[in-house]
Amino acid sequence: MINNATKVIAIANQKGGVGKTKTTDIIARDLASNGYSVLVIDWDPQKTLTAQFGINSNDIKNTPHDSSSVFSDGIFPQPKRVTIHESGDIFLDMLFASSSLMEYAQSGMSAREVKLRNYIKKISKEKIYDYIILDTPGSLGVLFTNAMLSADIVVLPIQTAKAATDATEPFFKELIALEEQFENKLEKIIAFGNMYNKVATHDKEQLEIIQKDIPLYIEKQKKLGNFEGMEFLVSKEIPTRTVIKDATGNGIYLREYIRLYSNTKSNKELLEAYNEIFNLITGVKFNNQKIRGK
């Protein structure tokens, strides 16, 4: 452990298909490659991240590697160590998702909104992890609430498309409702435009909304007494790039894939945009030298 306290990062947006899972994959590997100790929790019943790590969710269902075991009285979650890198010397720990996650979320269990937070509180005391990273569902509901009540930092990918920027207001409204109901306080939100196509006028307009109008909206909410003490940051936009699908879709670390197969100028720019997210999370610069491990 590098830091002396565990920070919880939720990659969230109640809209599907905006890039949450890909962002989770890249950020988690970036933190691990720079020496942070990382636990990734697949908290989405769609199990996309679990599949990206090559795991068949039926094999882990109702085992201690199943993220839904945070709901279970009988099983204490036990993260599984996975390598994230071809050379095999960089690791992170994971809890995978199975179909049980949705079953528990829909059950009538009491206090089910705070089960994840309770687990995270316990594990944080052990001072194992610098970061716990949550991939979250593309819908509001009990699982979303669990994630938000656990998070210190929310990373919010917003696709540079009108339907996506329109969906941010309900997202913030939900956070405000959770602030009122549970006195939930976030430390910071790091938003960024995702899948940006710089030659499309539509994308440019939407990026402007993300970089100007949304921060103004948050300022307005703060004046109304919401989001007290919360920092709202906008990171550099992430362009739309097939290399993201090619790398992460095949379970390969994006930076390794680019270095080995596609070391172009535009891909270097892509990585610089991820560097900024890393920097806003950790407060330090991403160190490329560390990627290859020892």
Binding site for ligand ADP (CB under 6 A): 16-22, 48, 138, 194-195, 238, 240-241, 244-245
Closest distance of CB 138 from ligand ADP, Å: 5
The residue among 44 and 130 lying less far from Mg ion, judged by its C-beta, is 44
Closest distance of CB 122 from ligand ADP, Å: 27
The residue among 206 and 240 lying less far from ligand ADP, judged by its C-beta, is 240
Closest distance of CB 24 from Mg ion, Å: 8
The residue among 114 and 273 lying less far from ligand ADP, judged by its C-beta, is 273
The one among 8, 15, 18, 20 contacting Mg ion by CB under 5 A: 20
Q: Does 47 bind Mg ion (CB under 5 A)?
A: no
Q: What is the 3-state secondary structure (H, E, C) of the chain?
A: CCCCCCEEEEECCCCCCCCHHHHHHHHHHHHHHCCCCEEEEECCCCCHHHHHCCCCHHHHCCCCCEHHHHHCCCCCCCCEEEECCCCCCCEEEEEECCCHHHHHHHCCCCCHHHHHHHHHHHHHHCCCCCEEEEECCCCCCHHHHHHHHHCCEEEEEEECCHHHHHCHHHHHHHHHHHHHHHCCCCCEEEEEEECECCCCHHHHHHHHHHHHHHHHHHHHHHHCCCCCCCEEEECCCCECCHHHHHHHCCCCCHHHHHHHHCCCHHHHHHHHHHHHHHHHHHCCCCCHHHCCCC
Q: Does 100 bind Mg ion (CB under 5 A)?
A: no
The residue among 20 and 29 lying less far from Mg ion, judged by its C-beta, is 20
The residue among 89 and 272 lying less far from ligand ADP, judged by its C-beta, is 272
Q: Does 248 bind Mg ion (CB under 5 A)?
A: no
Q: Does 67 bind Mg ion (CB under 5 A)?
A: no
Q: Which residues bind Mg ion (CB under 5 A)?
A: 20-21, 48
